[in-house]
Structure 1
Amino acid sequence: MSDELSPEMLEEAKPDLLTLEDEDGQEVTFEVIDATEVNGTRYLAVIPYQEDPASLQEDAELILMRIGTDDEGEYMDIVDDDEELLTVGKVFEERLRAMYDIDDSELD
């Protein structure tokens, strides 16, 4: 069985939510848009979660997170290395274009 999610599965499923604690100790909830592995490392594409669909912003910032492990278990970091961000961003861009059937001609 594949770990990949089909567009139909994503549309039918409830949002996959992830709540993390930021540097200030505040809980922040994200909606997981996609997950994949690049060069042996697992990544998530997330956006800040909005409970009310009417408040969703079309230009919501997509955040790429790396999943790693250490002596204490799994952890997540925001991808901030420019080269890694470019590489992983391209993979997610291709995947999300296919998932949501985005055509360049539809973009402003």
Structure 2
Amino acid sequence: MDYEDIMDNILVLVDEDGQEYEFEVQAELEIEEETYRVLIPLDEEEDDEDDEVEVIILKVVYDEEGNEFMAEIEDEEEWEMVADAWDELLDSGEI
């Protein structure tokens, strides 16, 4: 996904087909010299029976020209490390 814009904690990502998706940025995590963003999709309808909110965590990456992109975390160990950091942040009450 291509990084397009951050305004007032709203991030618009564009997929390979040019489809735009809006997310609210919940947190930006710096872990082992890498940056990750925790996002909540804005177009998701909330389910009244389930208070859990879908959270998406993406890694900030750069191309050769320095353009910022968001990428899925493919390494399971890296994913667990970032998910644990997010859980700790939630448990601390800072979010």
**TM-score scaled by length of structure 1:** 0.66
Q: Which residue of 1 aligns with 2:46?
A: 56
Could you say which structure has the greater relative contact order, defined with CA pairs below 8 angstroms and 6 or more residues apart? 2
Aligned residues: 85
Render the CA deviation track for 1:15-44: whole Å, top value 9, x for unaligned: 611001123321000111111100000111
Q: 1:59 to 1:80 in 2, by over 3 A?
A: farther
Letter in 2 for 1:31: E
Structure 1: runs of 5+ lacking an equivalent: 1-14, 102-108
> How far apart in 2 are the matches of 1:56 and 1:99?
22
Q: Which residue of 1 aligns with 2:72?
A: 78
Q: Which residue of 2 aligns with 1:65?
A: 58
Structure 2: runs of 5+ lacking an equivalent: 1-7
What is the CA-CA distance between 1:50 and the residue it aligns to? 4.5
Alpha carbon RMSD of aligned pairs, Å? Answer: 2.4
Q: Please, which of 79, 82, 87 is the counterpart of residue 88 of structure 1?
A: 82
State the identity as a percent: 35
Q: Which has the larger radius of gyration?
A: 1
Q: Which structure is higher in helix share?
A: 1
Q: Which structure is higher in strand share?
A: 2
Runs of 4+ in structure 1 deviating by more than 2 angstroms, as ranges, are 55-60
**TM-score scaled by length of structure 2:** 0.74
